[in-house]
Amino acid sequence: MFSVYFIQDNVQKEIGLLEDQAQLEGLIRAIEEVCPLENIEGDYFIHKKDLPDYGEIHFHGHKIPLSRFEFPLEDDIYIQGQPLRDLSQEGQGYGDGYLVIENYAIPAGEVQAYIRDREAAYQRVKSALEDRGFQVSRSLQGSEDGEAIVLEKEGCQQWYFAALDPAFVADLPQDEQAFQAMLDDYLQE
């Protein structure tokens, strides 16, 4: 099952539910009959200037109104088909879905390990930098790049050290000498 939406910034318009990928592709073709779509690596979007004043998407006997007036911004409108699990049926563990952790999509089955590793990475960096005389905190949660490690030293303003993103967590050296060298490199930047 897929839940399908039009999304523009914080405006989300639910289109409906579809059974499978083939139906989602059929809906995409039906939308293209009303206005042109752009496809970038499997992500579809509509340029607002291409929306009609009023149009109707015809799909499986349904009429879905579409108007440029329902979207308040000039930004592109994305078409998102979000896979849904049927929780009324017997499960098979984690589904194919993802959780978004600070703007990064993490596969559902890996979220617990990622969060554990992320928190351990933060604590390790925090401890090492505090040993060097810095005040260390977390900030920028919800920003475009996600939460970050922020430093402060007496007499200086706060400054950004590193984003707590998947690459930072994965690339943190386990070897203590390499870890200390990495901290030195980050502090030089």
Per-residue pLDDT reduced to its tens digit, 103-141: 787 887 888 999 999 999 999 999 999 999 999 999 888
Q: How many CB atoms neighbour CB 24 within 10 A?
A: 16
One-letter amino acid identity for 61? G
Q: What is residue 95's predicted lDDT score, i.e. its pLDDT?
A: 62
pLDDT tens-place string over residues 21-76: 899 999 999 999 999 999 988 889 999 999 999 999 999 999 999 998 988 888 99
Is the pTM here over 0.85, yes or no?
A: no
Q: Under a CB-based contact definition with an 8 Å cutoff, are residues 78 and 7 in contact?
A: yes
pLDDT at 81 over 70: yes
Q: How far apart are alpha carbons 35 and 39 in whole angstroms? A: 13
